[in-house]
Amino acid sequence: MNTRKSLKFSTTTQRENGVITVSLRGELDLSAAPDFRKVMDPLVGIDDADLVLNLKELKYIDSTGIGIFLSILKARHGMNSKFYVQEVPDHIRKLFEMTGIAKFFAEQENSQ
């Protein structure tokens, strides 16, 4: 288990039964984006495990944060590895819907 912390954004990474789960906590915006990329960079290329983002404790995300999710989605899609988000809070689900990207994550979720 590996934890990265900053004042307003932190992640916890766990690997269990072939699933890597990164739990996001706090506010993921332009200033937190470099840290989050650093966390995700070594994980995205792992092809013998599913990659999951748990958003239960995610309070806020801006377009830069969504951009990172989408880049992970594309990278995982390109290598035929599973990626999905789980426990999406209502306000973030609503944002995904408004931005027209909800279905990208939903399809992935259904395919697990």
Residues at the site binding other proteins, with contacts judged by CB under 8 A:
29-31, 37, 40-41, 44, 60, 62-64, 66-68, 70-72, 74-75, 90-91, 94-95, 97-101, 103-104
CB of 84 to other proteins, least distance (A): 17
Q: Which tokens sit at 84?
A: 């999905």
CB of 102 to other proteins, least distance (A): 9
CB of 104 to other proteins, least distance (A): 7
Q: Which is nearer to other proteins, 54 or 104 (CB)?
A: 104
Helix segments in 1-112, DSSP class H:
33-44, 63-78, 90-98, 102-110
Question: Measured between alpha carbons, how far is residue 14 from residues 1, 63, 95 in Å?
Answer: 5, 26, 26
Task: Tell me the HSE value of 90 on the side-chain side, using a 13 A CA sphere.
Answer: 0
Q: Which is nearer to other proteins, 55 or 72 (CB)?
A: 72
